[in-house]
Amino acid sequence: MKAIIYQKYGSPENLTLQEVNRPEPKADEVLVKVLAASLNQADGYMLSGTPFPLRFSAGLFRPKNQILGADISGVIERVGKEVKQFQVGDEVFGDLSGSGFGGFAEYAVAKETTVAKKPKSLTFEEAAAMPMASVTALQGLRDLGQIKKGDEVLINGASGGVGSFAVQIAKAFGANVTAVCSRRNVELAKSLGADEVIDYAVRDFTKEGKKFDLILDGPVNHALNQIEAVLKDGGRYVAFGFSMATLLLGPWKSFRTGKKFANLIAKVKQADLESVATLADKGKISPYIQQNFMLDEVPQAMNLLKNGKISGKLSIII
C-alpha cells in the first residue's frame, strides 16, 4: 500500500510517499480502507518531536510509528476475531491518536473502540475532518465547561479546527456564543452560528466589561488574571491550547475564586464520536474544510499547517 512515511523528527520535508506492507488487524482491531484523512496540530507535534516529553512515548531518538494521521474515514475491510460492533463494509470514522496514528495511508488499523459509524449526512472527506477536533470541542464544553442552555460562552480561536466545531456545539446546547477570531474569518464565524464576533486585532474581550459563564480558549493569549476578571461567579475557563499557567495556577485560582480553571486533555471515546455523528446527522454541526489535498501532497499540507493560520480543517483525499 502507499503511505506517507517519516523516519526522523523534523520538518515536512522528511515526509515521503512510499510503498509499505499493509497492516494486519489484531483481535480487537479493524482494518479500514482509508478514503480520507485530515490534519491536526497533533500531527505537527509528532513530526517535529516537540515538545520533547512526547518522545518518551513516541520514540526518544526516532519515531516508533512512522505514519502520521489521526483522523480517518473509510470502509472496514477486515475485522479481528474479538470485534463485535462492526462488520466488513461498514462506513466508519475515527481517531487513531491513542493507538499509533497511521491515517496517511491507503489502509490503517484501529481499535474497535476508537471508531464509530460515519455520519450518513457527510461525505468521507467531511467525516474525516471531524474526530479529534469535534470531540475535543465537545469534551471541553460539556465535560470541563459544564455548558448549559442560556450560558454566555466565549470561544477564543473560533475559526480553527476545534474552535469552529465549538461554536456550533455550543449553539446546539442552547448557549449564546461570542466568537473571537481574525478579521478574515469574521464571516466564517457568523456562518457557524456565532451571536457576536470579535476581531481580536480591533477589540480585546477582556477589556469590554462583558462577563461569561464559560470561556473555551485555544490561543491562550491572555493572563489568567484577565480571564478571571471576565468570568461570572462560578464561571469556567477551559484551555484547549496547552497553558502552563493554567496547569500551575489553575487549581489555586479555582480554590480561591470559586471559578474553574482547567487544561483540557481530550481523550478518544467512541461514545463521543457517536455523539458528534448524531449532531452532524441532525444538521447541528458540519466541518469547514479550507482545502483538500491528495495523499502525495501531505508534505505541502503539513507546511501550510505549520506556517499558516488555518480556517477550519485541511483534508486529505486518499
According to the model, what pLDDT value does residue 240 have?
92
pLDDT above 90 for 311 = yes
pLDDT at 15: 97
Does residue 165 have a pLDDT over 80? yes
Checking if the pLDDT of 308 tops 80, the result is no
User: What CATH architecture does domain 2-130+287-317 belong to?
Assistant: Alpha-Beta Complex (3.90)
Structural domain spans, the chain: 2-130+287-317, 133-263
Q: Note the pLDDT of residue 250.
A: 86
Q: For 241-273, how does the pLDDT look when each residue is reduced to its tens digit (9 = 90+)?
A: 878 888 888 899 899 999 999 999 999 999 999
Cell of 260: 474553574
The pLDDT of 15-23, averaged and rounded, is 97
Burial class (CB in 10 A: 0-12, 13-18, 19+), 27: exposed
Residue-wise pLDDT for 60-73, tens only, equals 889 999 999 999 99
Per-residue pLDDT, 245: 85
The C-alpha cell at 189 is: 464565524
Q: Which CATH architecture has domain 133-263?
A: 3-Layer(aba) Sandwich (3.40)
